[in-house]
Chain A
Amino acid sequence: MSQYLLLLLSTALVNNVVLVKFLGLCPFMGISKKVDTAISMGLATTFVMTMASASCWMLEHWLLAPLGIEYLRILVYILVIAAVVQFTEMVVRKTNPSLYQVLGIYLPLITTNCAVLGIPLLTTQEHLPFVAGLLYGFGSAVGFSLVLALFAGLRERLALAQVPSVFVGAPVGFITASLLALAFMGFAGLVSH
């Protein structure tokens, strides 16, 4: 049990997918202007990432490995991820049209979110068993959502600050992101072997 907890902690905080592995930076900068939107995006990505981890694990172990066609891995993974994203998009559109509008292009772009493809690939690379793989995906997604929400909160405050004109907009956003990344480095010693 404690090993699963450690896995969650390690993926969400210590090896945070955005700030330590630098994956999924596109939505991190794109959908972080408002906390509400960021949380919704985080939830959608969490769903996609967890589903993708699970289904990719199954395909890897039950289809690709038995048939010896591991070279099709990326192709197959992308196919599955795209399907899950399509499904998510339909659900969001049905349940919350204005959120669908707000997320805009970033919702279908979850497909090309490198974190979403990267995590299943890493799971495979690490040869994790099913439950651990699922938790790996879920933990990473939680880490992604957490950082997205944190950064959105920072940017909401940043919008009120009187920033020197050369830094207004993206530059000060990047500086803040780097400071946040520095802060996440502090988690490095959290889990010791």
Chain B
Amino acid sequence: MLIAVFSLTTLGLVLGLLLGYASRRLAVEGNALVEEIQAILPGSQCGQCGFPGCAGAAQALADGNAPITLCPPGGREVVSALSAKLGIEVNLADVAETMPMTAEVREELCIGCTRCYKVCPTDAIMGAAKHIHAVFREACTACGKCVEACPTEALALHPAPITLQSWYWHKPEERMAA
């Protein structure tokens, strides 16, 4: 009886000490994964995912507290990159449902208050005080910060217009008998 207790205790102690030493030697400073994830995210700090900026979202993703489809401006490209990085399977076809959006100014409502371009994280809005503002579609990530800032609801997110350059064939429908 005593032998059993003694030997188990010793064994536990020895293994515990070994593991303690190993964890000191193999300690991971910070989380390298968080940085890798942050490099994938758009970096516009828009906060649409509900986390404070892209660093917060990367931390949440690394901890497994957020779905990899959390980033609306990133679109399918970011989802597939995250899926490969984290090994989480996701049906890209479901993500495709979200259309690429851009902000647009309704010129008859814009009063030229300059609030929107002050909050735009990518400098995608051009304008001056008392002049109608305009959005550069190429730089807009559809983060929606300007929509919140606009006092006259002149800004809204619209689906990005399909042009001859962005149009492509849809995926063939599957009509397979089960």
Report A-B touching, CB under 8 Å.
yes
Complex contact B178–A83 (CB within 8 A): no
Complex contact B89–A97 (CB within 8 A): no
Q: Which of B7, B18, B89, B176 is A67 in contact with, Cβ under 8 Å? A: B7
A75 in the interface (beta carbon within 8 A): yes
Complex contact B23–A79 (CB within 8 A): no
Contact code string A78-109 (vs B, CB < 8 Å = 1, else 0): 01100100110011011001101110100000
Please name all residues of chain B whose beta carbon is closer than 8 Å to the beta carbon of A94 when the two chains form the complex: 26-28
Chain A interface residue number, banded: 20 to 34
Complex contact A90–B8 (CB within 8 A): no
CA distance A97 to B30 in the complex (A): 11
Complex contact B36–A86 (CB within 8 A): no
CA distance A75 to B7 in the complex (A): 12
Q: Which of B4, B28, B62 is A69 in contact with, Cβ under 8 Å? A: B4
Known: A34-B87, A162-B176, A165-B178. A97 touches B15 (CB 8 A): no
Please name all residues of chain B whose beta carbon is closer than 8 Å to the beta carbon of A87 when the two chains form the complex: 18-19, 22
A34 closest partner in B (C-beta): B87
Contact code string B11-32 (vs A, CB < 8 Å = 1, else 0): 1100100110011001110011
B3 in the interface (beta carbon within 8 A): yes
Complex contact B87–A101 (CB within 8 A): yes
Please name all residues of chain A whose beta carbon is closer than 8 Å to the beta carbon of B156 when the two chains form the complex: none
Known: A63-B7, A72-B8, A94-B28. A101 touches B86 (CB 8 A): yes
B66 in the interface (beta carbon within 8 A): no
Chain B interface residue number, banded: 20 to 34
How many residue-residue contacts, CB under 8 A, span A and B? Answer: 65
Complex contact A90–B23 (CB within 8 A): yes
Contact code string B79-104 (vs A, CB < 8 Å = 1, else 0): 00000011101000000000000000
CA distance A16 to B27 in the complex (A): 37
Complex contact B26–A83 (CB within 8 A): no
Complex contact A76–B36 (CB within 8 A): no
- Known pairs A91-B26, A98-B36; list 19 more (Cβ under 8 Å): A34-B87, A59-B11, A63-B7, A63-B11, A67-B3, A69-B7, A72-B4, A83-B18, A87-B22, A90-B26, A93-B26, A93-B28, A94-B27, A97-B31, A97-B32, A102-B86, A162-B176, A164-B178, A165-B178
- Residue numbers of B with Cβ under 8 A of A are 3-4, 7-8, 11-12, 15, 18-19, 22-23, 26-28, 31-33, 36, 62, 64, 85-87, 89, 176, 178
